[in-house]
Amino acid sequence: MQNLLDPAILFFIIGVLAGALRSNLEIPPAISRFLSLYLLMALGLKGGFALSHSGLTAQVGISLSAAIVLAICIPLMGYWILSRFVSGFDAAAIAATYGSVSAVTFVTAVQYLENQGVTYGGHMAAAMALMESPAIIMAVVFANVLRQSKTHSVVALGGGVAALQGPSALPGIRVSKILHESFTDGAQLLLLGAMLVGLVTGEAGKAAMQPFSGDLFKGMLSFFLLDMGLMAARNLPKARGHSPVLMAYAVLGPITHAGLALGLAVWLSLPVGDGALLMVLAASASYIAVPAVLRYALPESSPSLYFGLSLGVTFPLNILFGIPIYVSLAQSFLL
């Protein structure tokens, strides 16, 4: 309940209410894009400054390895479950969306930890960057396999004669192109570049950038969450009318993913802050980077499914209730 009294969360709720009431309140796209880039830059700087203070330790390597394991396992598990209820292309798209991460959810969780006085490793920003691409790559691989199976499927003809279908309308998308787009994405490069700047400049850089990356951060996050509240409310109708199974996945899937992250964090003896952020990353779903790639890479899938579920259902639940729950569980089970 205390989380709902945070100014940033209250602005998110205001955005949801304004969107639900069909208000003409709107954040211009250019400003929304700037706020997104600001938050990533500030987060990268914070992570770099923290890494400069702590150094690259074995604990850092363990946390990053755990992030990569989750980034591979979650989309695989999601595709295996969802392919039983929707088409293979939609299953791959939804699995990729929920296997990737939400930067805004992560930034909000970082702010929540700071408000609670819980320390965390700056390297978790790098973990977020590492977790974004594997799900996209696997979705493209799944889609290419589906296309190839359709291309070479055998059609039974009368009299026991068999013939091959003609080539599918859409050729397989090259994984190399998706890899290039994933790793050269501007937001990713800005995040990692800002981390490098923070790592190199250390305490002197932190003092110089404090008015930018520290003092302004809470206000910028509040403004951006207002915009996200508007978007969430306006995309919720896209999630309505879908199969109850998909709605259940949008709610229970992130909880399951967070549970996997908690089990991994307990097994690896991660610190409370790192474990909490790992849970948040595992429970989040992408609604910016992955949908943008999927529109090109999986045109056979339905954007209203993966975009509506992630932004209309999962994102609000994580922002309002998920983050404090995940942090509380991490505090209960981790040292």
Q: What is the pLDDT of residues 279-304, one digit of tens each?
A: 999 999 988 777 767 777 788 888 77
Q: Work out the average pLDDT over 40-45.
A: 86
What domains, with CATH codes, occur in the chain? 2-19+26-333 (1.20.1530.20)
Q: Work out the average pLDDT over 37-62.
A: 84
Task: From 315, 277, 267, select the one nearest 116 (Cα to Cα).
Answer: 277
**Which residues have a Cβ under 8 Å from the Cβ of 18 and sit 6 or more positions away?**
25, 229, 230, 233
Res. 62 pLDDT band, cuts 50 70 90: very high
Q: Is the pTM of this model over 0.85?
A: no
Treating both helix axes as pointing N-terminal to C-terminal, what angle do 272-283 and 244-268 enclose, rounded to 10 degrees?
Answer: 160
Beta-ladder partners of 156: 162
- Check pLDDT > 90 for residue 317: yes
C-beta separation of 120 from 274 below 8 A? yes
